[in-house]
Amino acid sequence: MRKNHLSPELEGEILSNFRIPSGEYTLVPYGSGHINDTLLAGNGKGDRYIFQRINNNIFQDVPALMGNILRVTEFLQDSVRKNGGDPRRESLTVIRTVDNAPYYQDREGGYWRAYLFVEDTVCRDRAETAEEFAQSGEAFGRFQKLLADFPADSLAETIPDFHNTPKRFEAFLDAIQKDPLGRKKEVEREIEFLLARREDMSRLTEALRKGELPLRVTHNDTKLNNVLLDRETLRGICVIDLDTVMPGLSVNDFGDSIRFGASTAPEDEQDLSKVEMSLSLFRAYAEGFLRGCDGRLTENEYACLPLGAKTMTMECGMRFLTDYLLGDTYFKTHRPGQNLDRCRTQLKLVADMEGKWAEMERIISECRG
């Protein structure tokens, strides 16, 4: 069991400030997210909770962030209830503090929140079968459907311009220009690859600006490990990691899942010969996602699904490279060069998608039936 790095005093302070049943809890590091510090708390009597120290460098307005999450989870729970589902299993449940707040600020300034631990689920960094990936697609599609009547523009932007790809491109140019660690010379090929795709970076934001694509409530971080699958049935049941739920594009939600889950190798694979965008996984996800959306997408949205995949993959590759150039301050890394490896897998995937474009389009039209 991994140990956490909290002092016993801090542990006690955090645990005593949330409304959870009494008992001796142990807190152990949990999951493989790149952003928050996630801990599993259990008292040995069956009461288990996820505690998270919210990454306050990245999410600067925690009250607004938790306001979004409270409203979205309450709305989701109502929708799930109306559909005869189990709201505490098919949605996250925020645990309030003893002062009835959705987060607690500790004596060191850290912001904490707690969720019910959703029991009897599995969370995958890689899909073991195409069906598991399809199930995650169905869960993210259903998330679209359940939130279709939620007023998108009433949500706070928890990270402004999160998927504004042309702005990410500007930040990338800035990092190249500053090159504070002298790393630019090692990554000339990657830089060139991204510079050559400048035009593509703004295609989706332009379509949104012209009203060709609708603004929706989107998740914006639709990695496979942000869905919990039922341990028995392996059905995708609960969408988690709601920090980036805000107004956005459905095609980006689709695309980010493809970027992560349709790859034949992990995000930080060093042997690029293993990295491809699998068309069979692409098809599986598209089938699940479209089933979950249940006819709610517009013609233009269907047409832009492949572009969503390419845009999210380019953007993510560019973000990893920007972070590498600036000294790995955003994404958690566990070894030197990991962000560069992550960037390289993304660029390999982009090149592979470009070669498979016609097939991706054909698969989408077949999935529409």
Residues that bind ligand GN1 (CB under 6 A): 33-35, 58, 221, 223, 226, 241, 243-244, 267, 316
According to the binding rule CB under 6 A, does residue 39 interact with ligand ADP?
no
Site for Mg ion in 214-233 (CB under 5 A): 226
Report which residue type is found at 147. Answer: L
According to the binding rule CB under 6 A, does residue 225 interact with ligand ADP?
yes
Picked from ligand ADP, ligand GN1, Mg ion, none, the partner binding residue 123 (CB below 5 to 8 A depending on kind) is ligand ADP
According to the binding rule CB under 6 A, does residue 241 interact with ligand ADP?
yes
According to the binding rule CB under 6 A, does residue 41 interact with ligand ADP?
no
> Contacting ligand ADP (CB under 6 A), which of 10, 25, 27, 30?
30
According to the binding rule CB under 6 A, does residue 73 interact with ligand ADP?
no
Q: Which is nearer to ligand GN1, 241 or 301 (CB)?
A: 241
Task: Please give the size of the binding site for ligand ADP, defined by CB under 6 A.
Answer: 19
Please tell me the distance from the alpha carbon of residue 156 to that of residue 158, in angstroms, as a whole number.
6
According to the binding rule CB under 6 A, does residue 118 interact with ligand ADP?
yes
What's the min distance (Å) between Cβ of 334 and ligand GN1? 13
According to the binding rule CB under 6 A, does residue 38 interact with ligand ADP?
yes
Got the DSSP string for 180-243?
TTS-GGGGHHHHHHHHTTHHHHTHHHHHHHTTSS--EEE-S---GGGEEEETTT--EEEE--GG
* 8 Å CB contact between 238 and 92: yes
**Alpha-carbon torsion (127, 132, 133, 136), positive or negative:** negative
Q: Output the residue with the shortest Cβ distance to ligand ADP.
A: 33
Picked from ligand GN1, ligand ADP, Mg ion, none, the partner binding residue 115 (CB below 5 to 8 A depending on kind) is ligand ADP
Give the phi and the psi of residue 84 in degrees, each rounded to 5.
80, 15
DSSP 3-state assignment of 51? strand
Buried b (16+ CB within 10 A) or exposed e, 93-119: bbeebeeeebbbeeeeebbbbbbbbbe
According to the binding rule CB under 6 A, does residue 69 interact with ligand ADP?
no
According to the binding rule CB under 6 A, does residue 87 interact with ligand ADP?
no
Pull the structure tokens for residue 145: 């459907």
Q: Which is nearer to ligand ADP, 33 or 292 (CB)?
A: 33
Q: Which is nearer to ligand ADP, 35 or 213 (CB)?
A: 35
Picked from ligand ADP, Mg ion, ligand GN1, none, the partner binding residue 118 (CB below 5 to 8 A depending on kind) is ligand ADP
Among 127, 75, 110, 71, smallest CA distance to 282 is for 127
According to the binding rule CB under 6 A, does residue 159 interact with ligand ADP?
no
Q: Which is nearer to ligand ADP, 209 or 231 (CB)?
A: 231
Picked from ligand ADP, Mg ion, ligand GN1, none, the partner binding residue 244 (CB below 5 to 8 A depending on kind) is ligand GN1
Contacts 24+ apart (CB under 8 A), 165-173: 165/201, 165/202, 165/204, 165/205, 165/311, 165/314, 165/315, 166/201, 166/202, 166/205, 168/201, 168/315, 168/318, 168/319, 168/322, 169/194, 169/198, 169/201, 169/202, 169/318, 171/322, 172/318, 172/321, 172/322
Q: Which is nearer to ligand ADP, 236 or 306 (CB)?
A: 236
According to the binding rule CB under 6 A, does residue 226 interact with ligand ADP?
yes
Of the listed pieces 29-37, 66-74, 143-151, 192-200, which binds ligand ADP according to CB under 6 A?
A: 29-37
Other C-beta atoms within 10 Å of 191: how many?
Answer: 17
Q: Which is nearer to ligand GN1, 73 or 244 (CB)?
A: 244
How would you write 113-157 as a 3-class SS string?
EEEECCCCEECCCCCCCHHHHHHHHHHHHHHHHHCCCCCHHHCCC
According to the binding rule CB under 6 A, does residue 92 interact with ligand ADP?
yes
Among 38, 92, 35, smallest CA distance to 68 is for 92
What's the min distance (Å) between Cβ of 38 and ligand GN1? 10
Chain residues binding ligand ADP by CB under 6 A are 30-31, 33-36, 38, 50, 92, 115, 117-118, 123, 225-226, 228, 240-241, 243
